[in-house]
Structures are given as structure tokens and as C-alpha cells.
């Protein structure tokens, strides 16, 4: 399956048992809820997936398990977040062997690479895999920006096809479209700018709160895609306080609490992360409770 860079692709959380092993039954339960809602792909091992805490073998188990669950319905992507070019290449090759259909790639971890080093890093991986690549451009959190001039060089690699646009600059969607047209597909990566980005021409949404609210997330995408903007906007306005849980250092804990509330997850996280407590936990629970009380009735968005 070649990837169509469009629609909603959840950056799924990784489920853990009370004994800190992979909770594959709960993981499958969540993935099945995403598929039922009509998502267009699954992204593993991102920030929400607690990638930095996962072993190579756990990443491989998650990839193979997800490939089996989706059974060809949607593409499975896994995030590459490595410290060395060699390890990034190996990770890409293992992902391909395990059945992934695409890669989401961050710049090098820990070392703050310069522009030339960043470009060469991405190109080295692209030249050593046949998988399509989405560059994750998030200078706010990861301190390295992939500029449009850098994309000029990167797009010489045919399998670098998309960007997860997380610069927080909404006008960047227009800059990318003006410069590259459809050669570089745009998947917005900031939940609180998602509808705005889609309306400005982004092709899809790598989403976070979708982990707990898959139907509402897909409905927003499908409604705006069908030109039913006001209906999409009404759901989005309801959703915004919940979406703000994603732009927070505790986004993993926040979203896992929301998954508990909607019955498709647990709040187990892997240390050094710890579950929320005290006033911080109560605030997040209040946001979730208020959202559930006002949860909208959705139109038949699957048949637009």
C-alpha cells in the first residue's frame, strides 16, 4: 500500500501494564476504536507513544502487532527518533522488515545538528529505505527547524514525501504550498491549529486527542473536506479545551487520562513519567469531565 498523505492519522499512545510491560490487549482495543472511527493511518512511537522509553524490540512488537490488527485497511507508520545516522538507518530497515508502510522522522536526537548535518541525516535514511518518509518539523519541542531551503535539497529524494508541520506558524502551510505545491504533502501536527491548517490547505492531521476521541476528530476532518465548514467548526470549538491538553509537557499523561474516561486506554506511563496527581490531575479531569458532558452528537460523517 502506498501512502496517501491525507485524513486523520493518530499518533497513538503505547499501552503499559501495571508491571510496565506492553499491554497489547488494551493497545489492540484502542487501535480497533481508531479504525472503527475511520482513521486514515496509524503512527507508532512518536512523542505520545513514549518513544524514548521503548526498547528496539518493543518498537518491533508494536509495529508487527499493529500491522496484524489493521490487516491492510490503513498504512502503519513508525517514528524514527535516533541519536546516530547509523541507528536511524537500521531502525528504518527494521520497520520495513516488520511491515510498516512509512516513516515519520525527527531530526537527530540530543545533538543539535546544523542545517547541512540535518539534511544529510534525512537523506542518508531516505537513500537506505524504500519506505516513504514524513519529516517531523517541530522546532518548538526539538530545537531544530527544517526550513524551506532545506526541503529544496531533501525533496531530491523521491521518497521524502510529506512534512508533519508543527512549527506553530499557521502561515507556514501557505509558504509550503506556494513553494512546493503537491510535491510536499502537509500533515498538521498541532491539535490546536488543526482545523485552521486544514482550511489553509494542509492535507491531513497527525492527531493526539484522537487517541481518546477518534470519532470527533475524524468528523472534523471529513466535514471540512466536504465543505461543511460550520459543522466542523462547531465540533472543533467544543473540542478545543481538550485539544489544549496536547500542547503541554504532560501531554502523554493528559491524553492517557482522557483515554481512561472514554474507555479505550489506561493511565499507565513509563518512568520517569508518572501519573498526574494533586491539583494538576484534578484540572485535567475537570476539562475531560466538562468535555464529556457537552459531547456533541455527530452527523453521519462517514458517508459524506
Domain spans in the chain, listed from the N-terminal domain onward: 7-303
Is residue 211 within 8 A of residue 51, CB to CB? The reply is no
pLDDT tens-digit series, residues 77-100: 999 999 999 999 999 999 999 999
CA dihedral over 16, 19, 24, 29, signed as positive or negative: negative
Torsion of CA 100, 104, 109, 111, to 10 degrees: 130
3-state DSSP call for residue 19? coil
Taking Cα atoms as reference points, which of 166, 264, 159, 253 lies closest to residue 210? 264
Interstrand relation of 7-10 and 204-207 (parallel, antiparallel or unpaired): parallel
Give me the CATH topology for the region 7-303.
Answer: TIM Barrel (3.20.20)
Q: Measured between alpha carbons, how far is 198 from 184 in angstroms, rounded to an integer?
A: 15
Q: For the residues 243-256, what does the mean pLDDT come to?
A: 96
pLDDT at 300: 96
pLDDT at 249 over 90: yes
Cα separation, 94 vs 97, whole angstroms = 5
Give this prediction's pTM: 0.96
pLDDT at 141: 87
Q: Is the pLDDT of residue 44 over 90?
A: yes
Per-residue pLDDT at 1 exceeds 90: no
Residue 29 in this model has a pLDDT that exceeds 80? yes
Question: How far is 116 from 25, CA to CA, in rounded Å?
Answer: 43
At residue 89, the pLDDT reads 98
- Scanning 4-159, the segments in alpha helix (DSSP H) are 24-37, 56-70, 85-97, 115-126, 139-142, 148-154
| Helices 85-97 + 115-126 axis angle, to 10 | 30
Per the model's pLDDT, the better-predicted residue between 304 and 122 turns out to be 122
Q: Is 87 exposed, middle or buried (0-12, 13-18, 19+ CB in 10 A)?
A: middle
User: How confident is the model over 126-171, as pLDDT tens digits?
Assistant: 999 999 999 999 999 889 999 999 999 999 999 999 999 999 999 9
Residues 176, 187: Cα–Cα separation, whole Å: 11
Amino acid at each position: 500500500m502506498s501512502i496517501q498523505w491525507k485524513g486523520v492519522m493518530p499518533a497513538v499512545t503505547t499501552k503499559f501494564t501495571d508491571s510496565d510491560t506492553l499491554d497489547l490487549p488494551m493497545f489492540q482495543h484502542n487501535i480497533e476504536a481508531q479504525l472503527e472511527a475511520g482513521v486514515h493511518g496509524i503512527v507508532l512511537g512518536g512523542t505520545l507513544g513514549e518513544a524514548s522509553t521503548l526498547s528496539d524490540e518493543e518498537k518491533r512488537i508494536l509495529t508487527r502487532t499493529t500491522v496484524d490488527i489493521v490487516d491492510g485497511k490503513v498504512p502503519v507508520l513508525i517514528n524514527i527518533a535516533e541519536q546516530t545516522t547509523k541507528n536511524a538507518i537500521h531502525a528504518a530497515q527494521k520497520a520495513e522488515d516488520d511491515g510498516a508502510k512509512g516513516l515519520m522522522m525527527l531530526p537527530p536526537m540530543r545533538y543539535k545538528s546544523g542545517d547541512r548535518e540535518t539534511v544529510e541525516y534525512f537523506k542518508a535514511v531516505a537513500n537506505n529505505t524504500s519506505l516513504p518518509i514524513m519529516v517531523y518539523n517541530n522546532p518548538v519541542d526539538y530545537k531544530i527547524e527544517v526550513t524551506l531551503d532545506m526541503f529544496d535539497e531533501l525533496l531530491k529524494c523521491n521518497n521524502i514525501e510529506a512534512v508533519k508541520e508543527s512549527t506553530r506558524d499557521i502561515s507556514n502551510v501557505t509558504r509550503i504550498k506556494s513553494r512546493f505545491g503537491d510535491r510536499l504533502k502537509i500533515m498538521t501536527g498541532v491539535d490546536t491549529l488543526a482545523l485552521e491548517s486544514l482550511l489553509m490547505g494542509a492535507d491531513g492531521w497527525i492527531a493526539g486527542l484522537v487517541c481518546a476521541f477518534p470519532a470527533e476528530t475524524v468528523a472534523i476532518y471529513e466535514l471540512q473536506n466536504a465543505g461543511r465548514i460550520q459543522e466542523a467548526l462547531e465540533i472543533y470549538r467544543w473540542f478545543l479545551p481538550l485539544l489544549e491538553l496536547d500542547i503541554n509537557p504532560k501531554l502523554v499523561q493528559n491524553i492517557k487520562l482522557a483515554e481512561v474516561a472514554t474507555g479505550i486506554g489506561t493511565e499507565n506511563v513509563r518512568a520517569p513519567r508518572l501519573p498526574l496527581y494533586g491539583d494538576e490531575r484534578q484540572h485535567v479531569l475537570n476539562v475531560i469531565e466538562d468535555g464529556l458532558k457537552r459531547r456533541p452528537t455527530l452527523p453521519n460523517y462517514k458517508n459524506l
